[in-house]
Chain A
Amino acid sequence: MSATHLKLHTAPEVPLETEVINPTVFANLSQSGIENLNVMHGNDKCHLGDFFKVTGKGASEIHIEGDLSGVKLIGAGMSEGKISVEGDVGMHLGVGMSGGEIIVNGNAGDWVGPEMSGGRIIIKKNAGHMIGSAYRGQSTGITGGEIFIHGNAKNEVGSAMRRGLIVVGGNAGDFTGVNMLAGTIIVLGELGIRTGAGMKRGSIVSLQDAPMLPSFDYSCTYHPLFLRLYFSRLRANGFKRKIQDQHITGKYKRYSGDGIELNRGEVLLFAG
């Protein structure tokens, strides 16, 4: 399979903004053409080749190696193909992507897949704040697609999301699903505080108990059938160890909320 390889040879001194790392941009470019793509090193306009060694050919897959924790905007606006990263990545990974797949074998910074509408992002380790969120000042977050975080995530996972699926294998921070409009967030570890504050619709699921806001109302304890579908799919996608049979067959406490808003959202907490 054709793939372009990028290897970091010079670590950026200040944040590097590389929205050009996108299969669509790489299509029909030679190696030197890719090396000559413009990137922003702080306020300095540089070339991709100043930081990365480019080998291989073809745009359907881009493979990147190195510590990219200071590299922002990888896969921004991506609509097709695949990007795989060996190492950590910086902020705004896959911002606004509409298709394709990004896999990171490392940690990710804040704002993973903000305002994405399609495609899939997989982070094998931990991620920062604002996963699958809306940017400040925007009323709508992600409108589609999937984000799988295998480790922990920090605050405001899926803020103002409208559609799509976000899965956190570890723990999530505070305000998970804040101002959520619709969609599904599944946290296999613990939730922080103030889950679902201001949510209108949508589902937030956790395999652990969690403190609920006073405006959320306990509805019942039941077995939600739809979780079977989600969990069996997640088991097939690398979350097998964390999802046990009892989680699939067991009962969940259902809270409806947020009472201040439409009250059509739900938080489902595993009850055994």
Chain B
Amino acid sequence: MTKEATQTDAQVKNKKPVSKKVDPYEGKNIKIVKDATCTFCGCVCDDMELTVDVDEHRILKAKKACVLGRAWFYEHKVDTRPGVLIDGKEATFQEGVEAAAQILIDAKFPTTYGMSDSTCESQRVTVEIMDTINGNIDTTTSVCHGPSGMAFQGVGESTATLGEVKNRADLVIYWGGNPAESHPRHFTRYAVTPKGMYIPNGKKDRTVVLVDVRRTPSTPVADIFMQVKPGKDFEVLWALRALVKGKKIANDIEKQTGVSREVLDDLVDRMKNCQFGVLFFGMGLTMTRGRHFNSGALLSLAADLNEFTHFVAKPVRGHGNVTGADNVVSWQTGYPFGVNFNRGYPRFNPGEFTTTDVLSRGEADAAMIIASDPASNFPKAAIEHMKKIPIISLDTKDTVTSSIAKVRFAVSTYGINTGGTVYRMDDVPITLRPAFESTYPGDQEVLEAIRDRVKKLLSGKKARVAA
């Protein structure tokens, strides 16, 4: 028992105890990483302060991180699993690269999927590989905000950065999402509580509206909660568009959608009379019946409102760098996802070249899965087909996909072990500041090795044909 602990209460009261601050990190080799970036969700908060135990290769404290961010930082430790497995057997890095390159060049319809938990630099190499071998490129966008990507193309996007939202938005509407649980700092860092240039009192100066099919932990944040009957989002958005334009709507709107005419009129009034409005939308809209038309209806509503005030719409993106995947694939091929290079030039057709479709129809004859686990969440037909074809998997943890992979690379984690660039959900690029080194290579390194080997093998093949 320490001396301090035996002191009487009076002594404690009269005399301030000598503060003997126990240093929890005493004797440890500690490194502080300032302005580190959390890559767990699309918020990509870049104001973290990480306390890293350099010897033990782990993060002890992540200041400013939300509950999800803390789990992300604390749970990444050094692994002991083998770096490369071929058919479940340990192999060298070179053997793994050789096997992966062979699979890719032998395939007639190779596809790649994932990429949203990977840096832009790695994504760029992936696109280059698929361009070289005339393969098919798709990212996790196709099963999350892919419909929004299609809607952007169809109706356009009135957009803004989260900084503008923070500084200007006095009407914030969330549609089909639950940020309190999926993006905890979206409210506190970007859109609801922060004080901004023209929003000096933070939340007091904003009206927050939440639209969803049920009450969620996000509901208490909202000033107005609009509950829509499941699967009726499109009808409500369409009715709002009609009202904004001053057109008639059906009298039975409440019966159809669960939302009364008064509530709709009130919302339309608020939307038309705000200074700067923003519509954030989630997968409650993009992954329910109607998909790209739901997103399209919301984007059109934002566009319509620009006749009266400034209004923008932004999808709330899930994975850390899924926005980067869209940006890189668009920059490299002209299209955001579901791109096919079979004919040597890019073709875009969601439904035809998106991964769930090419796998479910049994079309792809090889797949390279990067930082994603489709084998645990894809439709049954797609998973069954994945079991029949050679899979190359690059992942930071063992997954169902890596367990069925022919060639499995263990890679380090972006943002924790490797640096690079990621895009925040508002298309703002952010630099990563890694915390500690991993024993595994980054996915960029693995992909570059595969790319170089593929190019070499192909040049040999061509030379043989020419001879």
Q: Does B135 lie within 8 Å of A174, measured CB to CB?
A: no
Q: Is B12 located at the chain interface by the 8 A CB criterion?
A: no
Given A13-B108, A213-B238, A214-B238, A136–B247 Cβ distance below 8 Å?
no
A110 partner residues in chain B, CB cutoff 8 A: 351-352
Q: Does A14 lie within 8 Å of B343, measured CB to CB?
A: no
How far, in Å, is B230 (CB) from chain A's closest CB?
13
- Complex alpha-carbon distance, A135 and B350, angstroms: 10
Q: Does A260 lie within 8 Å of B350, measured CB to CB?
A: no
Taking chain B's interface residues, is the majority helix, strand, or loop, or is none over half, making it mixed?
Answer: loop
Q: Is B38 located at the chain interface by the 8 A CB criterion?
A: no
Which of A17, A43, A129, A214 touches B134 (beta carbons < 8 Å)? Answer: A43
Q: Does B238 lie within 8 Å of A260, measured CB to CB?
A: yes
Which of B108, B242, B289, B293 touches A178 (beta carbons < 8 Å)? Answer: B293
Q: Is B305 located at the chain interface by the 8 A CB criterion?
A: no
Contact with B along A41-59 (1 / 0, CB 8 A): 1111000000000000000
- Complex alpha-carbon distance, A159 and B134, angstroms: 30
Q: Does A43 lie within 8 Å of B238, measured CB to CB?
A: no
Chain B residues with a Cβ closer than 8 Å to the other chain, count = 38
Q: Is A271 located at the chain interface by the 8 A CB criterion?
A: no
Q: Is A84 located at the chain interface by the 8 A CB criterion?
A: no
How far, in Å, is B130 (CB) from chain A's closest CB?
10
Which of A42, A129, A130, A194 touches B342 (beta carbons < 8 Å)? Answer: A42
- Complex alpha-carbon distance, A212 and B239, angstroms: 12
B109 partner residues in chain A, CB cutoff 8 A: 14-15, 42-43
Which of B257, B293, B351 touches A130 (beta carbons < 8 Å)? Answer: B351
Q: Is B464 located at the chain interface by the 8 A CB criterion?
A: no
Q: Is A252 located at the chain interface by the 8 A CB criterion?
A: no
A89 partner residues in chain B, CB cutoff 8 A: none
Q: Is B420 located at the chain interface by the 8 A CB criterion?
A: no
Q: Does A212 lie within 8 Å of B250, measured CB to CB?
A: yes
The residue among A13, A43, A213 with the most chain B CB atoms within 10 A of its own CB is: A43
Q: Is A216 located at the chain interface by the 8 A CB criterion?
A: yes
Q: Does A136 lie within 8 Å of B363, measured CB to CB?
A: no
Q: Does B290 lie within 8 Å of A174, measured CB to CB?
A: yes
Q: Does B352 lie within 8 Å of A91, measured CB to CB?
A: yes
Which of B135, B241, B248, B253 touches A43 (beta carbons < 8 Å)? Answer: B135
Q: Is A175 located at the chain interface by the 8 A CB criterion?
A: yes
B238 partner residues in chain A, CB cutoff 8 A: 197, 213-215, 260
Q: Does A217 lie within 8 Å of B248, measured CB to CB?
A: yes
Q: Does A214 lie within 8 Å of B242, measured CB to CB?
A: yes
- The A226-265 residues at the B interface (CB cut-off 8 A) are 259-260, 263
User: Residue on A with the closest CB to B352?
Assistant: A91
Contact with A along B310-351 (1 / 0, CB 8 A): 000000000000000000000000000000011100001111
- The B349-383 residues at the A interface (CB cut-off 8 A) are 349-352, 363-365
* Chain B residues engaging chain A, CB cutoff 8 angstroms: 107-110, 133-135, 150, 153-154, 234-235, 238-239, 241-242, 245, 247-250, 253, 256-257, 289-290, 293, 341-343, 348-352, 363-365
